Structure 1
Amino acid sequence: MRIGLAGTGRIGAFHAKTLSTLPGVDEVVVADLDTTLADRVATELGIVSAPSIDALLGSGLDAFVITAGTAAHADLIEAAVARDIPTFCEKPVALDLERTIALAELEARSEVPVHIGFQRRFDAGYRRVQAAVAAGEIGFVHTVRAATMDQAPPHAAYLPTSGGLFRDCSVHDFDIVRFVTGREVSRVFAVGANKGEPFFTEAGDVDTAAATLVLDDDTLVSVTATRYNGAGHDVRMEVHGSQGTLGVGHDTTLAITSAEEGVDWPPGPRHWSFMERFLPAYVAELTAFADVARGAAPSPCTVADALQAFRTAEACARSMTTGQPVDLADVPGLLAIAH
C-alpha cells in the first residue's frame, strides 16, 4: 500500500514515522507547502517526498493522510474524495460549521471512506469505559465529568485560526462523550474567562472554559478546559453510574498533588503534552486507518461524527457569547448527520 501524507509539521512527521512502520505499507510519500521541510522529514525517516501536494495527490495513492494546517483540511478532503482515495484527516475538518456540513453531505453521497482523527477513541482507558457503559456494567449513567487541561498555552499566532477553545480543544471531549455514552447532546450552557495572556482576549478567545451538557437521555455532563495547567497535561473523564464509577486518566501520571497528609499518590512521572499522553492511541488510530484504506473495516470516526462534535462546540460558543442555554436542535447540521 502506498500512502501519501500532506503536512510535515510535528504531528505530520510523527504520523509519517508511524505509517512507515505499519505492516502492509510499502511506501510513505510526504509533501508540504514548505518543500524544504518535507524533504528534511523524508530524509530523516528514509522515505520519499513529493514536489507538491497536488503532485502527491496525482501520484497513484492507495490512501491519503491530512496533517496540514486547518485551513487546508476541507479542500484536501474534497480533492482526495474526488480521486476516490481513502482519507484520514486530523480534526477539525473545516474552520466553520457551514463547510463542515457540506463535507458531511459530500461523505454521505460518496463511497470513499474518510476517517477523522479523534485519537481518544483509540485510547485503552476510554475504550474500556465505552465497553462497560454499552454492557450496562455500571448501571445507568447519570453524570459524566470530562476535562482537557493543557500545561501551557499555544503561541499567540495559533489563536486566530484555531476556532476558539471549544472548537479547538473541548471538541475532543464532545466527541468522546458521544463515543463513550452512545448518546447525543441535546442542550448546552457554557461560560469562559481569561486570566492569562492578553492575546486570548485580543483574538476573541478564552483561556479557560466550562460547559454543562444535557444528553438526550438526561445524563448530565460537565466539560472543562484550560490553556494554563502548570501541573502538567491533564486529560481525564469520570463516568458515574447507578452501580459503579469508572475513570480515565486516573493513573500514576495524573497531574495533581494531594492535599491530604501522608498521601504521596500519584508518583508520576507526569505528561507534559498531548503527544506524550496519547502516543499509543495515535499508533492504534493509524493502524485502524490502514485497515479502512484496505477496505477491511469501515471508518471508525466519520465526517458525520466530526460534525456532531463541531455542532456541540458551536452551541457552546454561542451560549458563552449570549449567556443563554442553546438547544442543539437550533444548530444547523442535524439532517446532514443521518447515517
Structure 2
Amino acid sequence: MRLGLAGAGRIGAAHAETLAGFDEVASVVVADVDPARAQPVADRLGVEAAEGIDALFQSGLDGLVIAAATDAHPELIIKAVDARLPVFCEKPVAADIPGTLAVIDRIADSDVPVQIGFQRRFDAGYQAARVAVESGELGWLHSVRATTLDPAPPPAAYVAHSGGLFRDCGVHDFDILRWVTGREVEQVFALGRNKGEQFFADAGDVDTAAVAMTLDDGTLATVSLTRYNGAGYDVRFEALGSLANAVVGLDGQAPLRSVEPGVGRLPGPAYPGFMERFRTAYSAELRAFLDVAARRIPSPAGAADALEAFYIAEACEVSRRENRPVRVAEVRR
C-alpha cells in the first residue's frame, strides 16, 4: 500500500513514522504547503517527499492521511474523495458546522471511506470501559465524568485560530462520551473562566471550563477542561453505575497526589503531553485505517461522528456565552 501524508508538523511527522513502520505500507509520501517542512521529515524516516500538495495527489496513492492545518481539511478531504482515495483526517472535519456539513454532503455522494482521528476510541482503557457499559457489568449509569487537563497552554497564535477550548480540546471528550456510553447528549450547561494568559480572553476563548450534561437516557455527565494543569497531562474518564464503575486513565502516570496520610502520589512519572499518553492509540487508529483503505472494515469514526461532537462543542460555547442551559438540538442544522 502506498500512502500519502499531508502536513509535516508534529502530529504529521509522528503519523509518517508510524505508517513507515507498518509491513503493509510499501511506501509513504510526505507533503506540506511548505516543502521545506516535508523534506526533513522524509529524510529522517527514509520516505519520499512530494513538492507540494498537488504533487502528492499525483504520486499514485492508495490512501491519504491528513494532518494539515484545520482550514485545509475540507479542501483536502473533498479533493481526496473526488480522486477516490480513502481518507484519514485529524479532527476537525472543518472549522465550523456549515463547512462540516458541506464535506459530509460530498462524502455521502461517494462510496469513499473517511476516518476521523478520534484516537481515544483506540485506547485500551476506553475500549474496556465501553465493553463494561455494553455488557451491563456496571448496571445502569448514574454519572459519567470526563477530564482533559493540559499541562501548559498552546501558543497565542494557535489559540487565536483554534476554535476555542470546547471545539479544539473538549471535542475529544464529547466524542468518547458518546462512544463509551452509546448515548447522545441532550443538554449542556457550560461555564468558562480565564485565570492565565490574556491571549485567551483576547481570542474570545477561556483557559478553563466545566460542563454539566444530560444524556438522552437521563444520565448526568460532567466534563472538566483546562490549559493549566502544571502537574502534567491528565486525561481520565469515569463511568459510574448502579453496580460497579470503570475508570480510564488511572494507570500510574496520572498526575494525581493523595494528601491522605501515608498514601502519596501515584508511582510513575506524569505524562508530559498527549503524544506520550496516546502513543499506542495513535498507532492503533492508523492500523485500523489500513483496513479501512483496503475496504476490509467500515470507518470506525466517520465524519458524522465528528459532526455530532462538534454540535456538542457548539452548544457548550453558546451556553458559556449566554450563561444558560442549551439543548444540543438548538445548534443542529
TM-score (structure 2 length as normaliser): 0.99
SS in structure 1 opposite 2:264?
coil
Q: How far apart are residue 149 of structure 1 and its match?
A: 0.2
Q: How far apart are residue 316 of structure 1 and its match?
A: 0.2
The answer to whether the Cα contact below 8 Å between 2:78 and 2:107 also exists between their aligned partners in 1 is no
- Tell me how far apart the structure 2 counterparts of residues 106 and 134 of structure 1 sit (CA, whole Å): 33
Show the counterpart of 1:129.
129
Q: How far apart are residue 265 of structure 1 and its match?
A: 3.9
Aligned residues: 333
Give matches, 1:176-255, under 5 Å.
Answer: 176-255=176-255
Alpha-carbon RMSD across the aligned residues, in angstroms, is: 0.8
Amino acid at match of 2:132: A
Structure 1 residue 162 and structure 2 residue 162: aligned?
yes
Show the counterpart of 2:25.
25
- Tell me how far apart the structure 2 counterparts of residues 289 and 135 of structure 1 sit (CA, whole Å): 27
Structure 1 residue 35 and structure 2 residue 35: aligned?
yes
Show the counterpart of 1:101.
101
Show the counterpart of 1:314.
314
Give the percent of matched residue pairs that are identical in Structure 1 and Structure 2: 57
Show the counterpart of 1:87.
87
Amino acid at match of 1:295: R
Q: Residue by residue, what CA displacement relative to the aligned partner does 1:151-200 show, whole Å, maximum 9, x if unpaired?
A: 00000000111000000000000000000000111111101000000010
- Tell me how far apart the structure 2 counterparts of residues 30 and 67 of structure 1 sit (CA, whole Å): 10
Amino acid at match of 1:281: A
Structure 1 residue 293 and structure 2 residue 314: aligned?
no
Q: How far apart are residue 332 of structure 1 and its match?
A: 2.0
Q: How far apart are residue 57 of structure 1 and its match?
A: 1.2
Unaligned runs of 5+ in 2: none
The answer to whether the Cα contact below 8 Å between 2:145 and 2:239 also exists between their aligned partners in 1 is yes
Amino acid at match of 1:233: Y
Show the counterpart of 1:336.
none
Show the counterpart of 2:274.
274
Structure 1 residue 263 and structure 2 residue 258: aligned?
no
Amino acid at match of 1:166: F
- Tell me how far apart the structure 2 counterparts of residues 12 and 93 of structure 1 sit (CA, whole Å): 16
Amino acid at match of 1:271: Y
The answer to whether the Cα contact below 8 Å between 2:3 and 2:63 also exists between their aligned partners in 1 is yes
Amino acid at match of 1:290: L
Structure 1 residue 5 and structure 2 residue 5: aligned?
yes
- Tell me how far apart the structure 1 counterparts of residues 197 and 329 of structure 2 sit (CA, whole Å): 35
SS in structure 1 opposite 2:192?
strand
Give matches, 1:50-69, under 5 Å.
Answer: 50-69=50-69
- Tell me how far apart the structure 1 counterparts of residues 206 and 307 of structure 2 sit (CA, whole Å): 22
SS in structure 1 opposite 2:73?
helix
- Tell me how far apart the structure 2 counterparts of residues 79 and 122 of structure 1 sit (CA, whole Å): 27
Q: How far apart are residue 109 of structure 1 and its match?
A: 2.4
SS in structure 2 opposite 1:132?
helix
More deviation in 52-61 or 137-146?
52-61
- Tell me how far apart the structure 1 counterparts of residues 264 and 209 of structure 2 sit (CA, whole Å): 30
Show the counterpart of 2:148.
148
Q: Residue by residue, what CA displacement relative to the aligned partner does 1:271-290 show, whole Å, maximum 9, x if unpaired?
A: 01000100000000100001
- Tell me how far apart the structure 2 counterparts of residues 82 and 72 of structure 1 sit (CA, whole Å): 16
Unaligned runs of 5+ in 1: 334-339
- Tell me how far apart the structure 2 counterparts of residues 82 and 117 of structure 1 sit (CA, whole Å): 20
Q: Residue by residue, what CA displacement relative to the aligned partner does 1:287-323 show, whole Å, maximum 9, x if unpaired?
A: 0001100111110000000000000000000000001
- Tell me how far apart the structure 2 counterparts of residues 265 and 13 of structure 1 sit (CA, whole Å): 34
Q: How far apart are residue 34 of structure 1 and its match?
A: 1.3
Kindly report structure 1 stretches of 4+ aligned residues shifted beyond 6 Å. none
